[in-house]
Structure 1
Amino acid sequence: MKQLISKLKGDKGIWSFVALLALFSFMPVFSASSNLAYLGHGTGNTLSYLLKHLGHVICGFWIIYAIHRIPYQYFRSFSRLLLPVIWVVLAITMIKGTVIGGANASRWLQIPFIGISFQPSALAALVLYIYVARYLSKTRENPIVFVESFKELWLPVFITLMFILPSNFSTTALIFSMIVMLVFVGKYPLKYLSYIIGMGIVSLAFFWTLSKAFPDSKFFSRVNTWESRIESFATDKPDEDDYQIEKAKIAIASGKIYGLGPGKSVQKNFLPQSSSDFIYAIIVEEYGLVGGFGVLILYLLLLFRFIVASHKANTTFGKLVVIGLGFPMIFQAMINMAVAVELLPVTGQTLPLISSGGTSIWMTCIALGIIIGVTKKEEEIEQEQKEAARREEALQKLIDEQLLADEKFDAASGGYSIEDKVSNPMHAVLNK
């Protein structure tokens, strides 16, 4: 075990908090999978879901380990090369992606010959964050011209979000808000940023107008769902999502301070997304406010380590990559918990590293691998600096000892002979 830990480079705090969240996830996922096990006249055996989650987590940690060994500077070029590929994949997903309940919720793409489905929007978000960090680090020293920045930065952003918006408004809003946060930290001019936010609002309004002009189009079928969720959240008008919210609130209220105990949740049998979107409600029901606040504190500690890692990074790109990949992870967790307690309308965002689902776990692990890669590089630089300082200190100590020996010898015998001085290598070094 010690040999394995010694091979893990980078920020040990990030490694620790990620491991704690992943280990804790097994208990609520195992418990909350019961409704899935009985779905469709199933046997009720949740062991298969636990083993599936175990496979996702093991694969996720392998991804972190593999990614963190790659120099993070390589991802600068990767983001630019992958962006057109991402557009093609997103376009294919819109056309041929998995449809949920007959509506145009095409978010998943089936990989041929493997049988694995993944959510391209999650990968698109990672590539987009790195691309934005690359642009900001490249232009940080030069004055930013709006027209040029719109072509190089914002046009790729809007194209990517255009492919995601029809099927997933919450993910689109999350990505756009995180990019706005990132460019703000990257000192993008506020005047230009206000233009972009205005253009984003106008584009969303135009999309909504088109949905009203073509109400029968499957391309705009999700708009009614967004409207009903927002209206239900803002008013007391009943909605199909109210059932999930009510069950989540019952679960949270039942948990009280210490919870009902592991595996003793009742509402897991009624919540449709108990192992993913509403897993936080199950956590509070089984582990009480203590467990709920414990999970929240772990995410906040992880956020603190991201801030420390960003501060320590000695390159602008490294700082922005940590912020661009780390903050959305924590923000998504806060959204998931806020939905469970009805502070936000239903969004469909999972709880990173805890919710079941391969795409969510793997995309989070890719982001963590890149972040840890940044901290590994800074750790290597710090070790090199310490080693150089140690060698310099040792050499200086050797020189001081030699000088002291010369002084003692001169005082005792009147000095070295000419032959001794010529044959003494340290004298040759000192004379130089």
Structure 2
Amino acid sequence: MKEILSHLKGDKLIWAMVFLLALFSFMPVYSASTNLVYTVGAGSSTFGYLIKHFTHLTIGLIMMYFTHKIPYQRFRVISVLAIFVVVILLVFTAFQGNTIGGANANRWIYIPFVNVGFQPSSIASVVLLVYVAQYLASIRDTVVDFKESLIWLWLPVFVITGLILPANLSTAALIFMMVCMLVFVGKYPFKYLLRIGGISIAMAGLFFLTAKAFPSMMPNRVDTWISRIDRFTATDEEDADLYQVENAQIAIATGSVFGLGPGKSVQKNFLPQSSSDFIYAIIVEEYGLLGGLAVLSVYLFLFFRFVRAAHKAPTLFGKLLVVGLGFYIIFQAMINMGVAVSLLPTTGQTLPLISSGGTSIWMTCVSLGIIISVTKKEEEIREEERIRMEREDALQALIDRSLLEKEQEIMAEGGNPMDAVRNK
């Protein structure tokens, strides 16, 4: 065990929380998979879904391990190159992507021959946040020109969020919100940020009006957005489609304080996205209020470690990386739990490291790997400081020992010991 831990650098508590969430995820995912097999009819056995989830987590943790080995400063160059690749993937997805399980509205690209799919939007969120962090770090000591920042900062942001928006409104909104928070923390001029806010509102309004006027451009998407907001704000429950929300509420109410027990959820058979979007409701039903609070506490503890890592990061780029990627993970978790307990309208955001899924798990692990790479640098600086102090102490001890021997030599010759001090 010590040999394994010796290869895991950086914040050990972040590593511990990641492994804890990953191990815990097997129980609710395996339990919720019965809905997919016996109700939906997707798959032949629940064990197959368990193996699939294990594979996704294993690949994710391997990606996290190799990512944390990369010096985080290298991600500055990687993000600039990757931003073009991401745009190409999103454009391709907009025209050739697939919709999986109509309800979740997530666009996928399938790799031929191996039948493996991935979500470019999940990759885009990580790449864009790293790109914004490197841009803010590069203009730290310069006077920001608004027109220049429109091209190098906001144009990639608008293009990427605009390409994600038609298929996944909540992800596009969350990414844009995180970018705004990041530029605020990075001390981008607030007056320019207000201008961007006005431009964004105008563009969003134009987009929704166009989508409403020409619904054939995005079949079913506008109706889905409106119905989700209506479900959340409806005053007449008879006229609102509250199927998912009501079943999530039933699951939480049934769980009470201690829960029904692992695998004993009833509502998993009625919630369409019981293993992803509404997995927190299944957790509360099976493990009760205590289980739900325990999961919440782990994410809050991760939030505390991210804040600490950002505070101690040796460079501005490192601080912005931790804030952008770390807070994105926490906000995603809070949104998922907020939807399950009816505090927020249905969004389709997964619960990081717990919900089933491939790309979302992998990109979460990559983000955590980058964050740990920042904390690893902090650890390396502390180690270098410790070695320097040890060398200074050893040198001082050598000088003191040499001085003592000189004093003893002078005294043996009948001289004045102070001569040794003067000769030092």
* TM-score for the superposition, normalised by structure 2: 0.95
Structure 1 partner of 2:226: 227
Q: Give the Cα separation in 2 of the matches to 1:99 and 1:113.
A: 19
Q: Give the Cα separation in 2 of the matches to 1:183 and 1:331.
A: 17
Structure 1 partner of 2:72: 72
**How big is the shift at 1:105?**
3.8
Structure 1 partner of 2:341: 341
Structure 2 partner of 1:424: none
| TM-superposition CA deviations, 1:266-290 (whole Å, max 9, x none) | 1011111000000000000000000
- Written as runs of structure 1 = structure 2, the 5 A alignment for 1:15-30 is 15-30=15-30
Bigger CA drift: 92-101 or 373-382? 92-101
Q: Give the Cα separation in 1 of the matches to 2:170 and 2:122.
A: 12
| TM-superposition CA deviations, 1:27-71 (whole Å, max 9, x none) | 101111101111454686311111111111111111111111111
**How big is the shift at 1:158?**
0.4
CA contact (8 A) 2:166 2:221 kept: yes
CA contact (8 A) 1:103 1:221 kept: no
Q: Give the Cα separation in 1 of the matches to 2:129 and 2:162.
A: 16
Structure 2 partner of 1:4: 4
CA contact (8 A) 1:28 1:282 kept: yes
- Written as runs of structure 1 = structure 2, the 5 A alignment for 1:386-425 is 386-414=386-414
Q: Give the Cα separation in 1 of the matches to 2:76 and 2:260.
A: 48
User: SS of the residue aligned with 1:108?
Assistant: strand
- Written as runs of structure 1 = structure 2, the 5 A alignment for 1:261-280 is 261-280=261-280
CA contact (8 A) 1:257 1:288 kept: yes
What amino acid is the match of 2:225? W
- Confirm or deny that 1:38 pairs with 2:44: no
When residues 154 and 234 of structure 1 are mapped into structure 2, their CA distance, relative to the original with a 3 A threshold, is same
What amino acid is the match of 1:171? T
| TM-superposition CA deviations, 1:165-198 (whole Å, max 9, x none) | 1111100100000111111111111111111111
Unaligned runs of 5+ in 1: 417-426
- Confirm or deny that 1:258 pairs with 2:232: no
- Written as runs of structure 1 = structure 2, the 5 A alignment for 1:154-165 is 154-165=154-165
Structure 2 partner of 1:361: 361
Count of matched residue positions in the alignment of Structure 1 and Structure 2: 420
What amino acid is the match of 2:250? I
User: SS of the residue aligned with 1:109?
Assistant: strand
What amino acid is the match of 1:401? R
| TM-superposition CA deviations, 1:117-167 (whole Å, max 9, x none) | 111001001000000000111111112121111111011110111110111
CA contact (8 A) 1:260 1:288 kept: yes
What amino acid is the match of 2:285? E
User: SS of the residue aligned with 2:215?
Assistant: coil
Bigger CA drift: 237-246 or 364-373? 237-246
Instruction: State, as a whole percentage, how many aligned pairs show the same letter.
Output: 59
User: SS of the residue aligned with 2:108?
Assistant: strand
Structure 1 partner of 2:381: 381
**How big is the shift at 1:101?**
6.3
Structure 1 partner of 2:212: 212
Structure 1 partner of 2:84: 84
CA contact (8 A) 2:230 2:240 kept: no
- Confirm or deny that 1:329 pairs with 2:329: yes
User: SS of the residue aligned with 1:33?
Assistant: helix
When residues 93 and 318 of structure 1 are mapped into structure 2, their CA distance, relative to the original with a 3 A threshold, is same
Structure 1 partner of 2:63: 63
CA contact (8 A) 2:100 2:108 kept: no
**How big is the shift at 1:237?**
4.8
- Written as runs of structure 1 = structure 2, the 5 A alignment for 1:161-172 is 161-172=161-172
- Confirm or deny that 1:48 pairs with 2:13: no
Bigger CA drift: 33-42 or 225-234? 33-42
* TM-score for the superposition, normalised by structure 1: 0.93
When residues 105 and 258 of structure 1 are mapped into structure 2, their CA distance, relative to the original with a 3 A threshold, is closer
**How big is the shift at 1:213?**
2.4
CA contact (8 A) 2:36 2:43 kept: no
Structure 2 partner of 1:129: 129
Q: Give the Cα separation in 1 of the matches to 2:224 and 2:281.
A: 23
What amino acid is the match of 2:371? I
CA contact (8 A) 1:63 1:362 kept: yes
When residues 114 and 2 of structure 1 are mapped into structure 2, their CA distance, relative to the original with a 3 A threshold, is same
| TM-superposition CA deviations, 1:282-325 (whole Å, max 9, x none) | 00000000000000000000011111111111111111111111
CA contact (8 A) 2:126 2:367 kept: yes
- Written as runs of structure 1 = structure 2, the 5 A alignment for 1:128-147 is 128-147=128-147
When residues 102 and 320 of structure 1 are mapped into structure 2, their CA distance, relative to the original with a 3 A threshold, is closer
What amino acid is the match of 2:257? I
User: SS of the residue aligned with 1:110?
Assistant: strand
**How big is the shift at 1:414?**
3.5
Bigger CA drift: 304-313 or 123-132? 304-313
- Show structure 1 runs of 4+ deviating over 6 A: 101-104
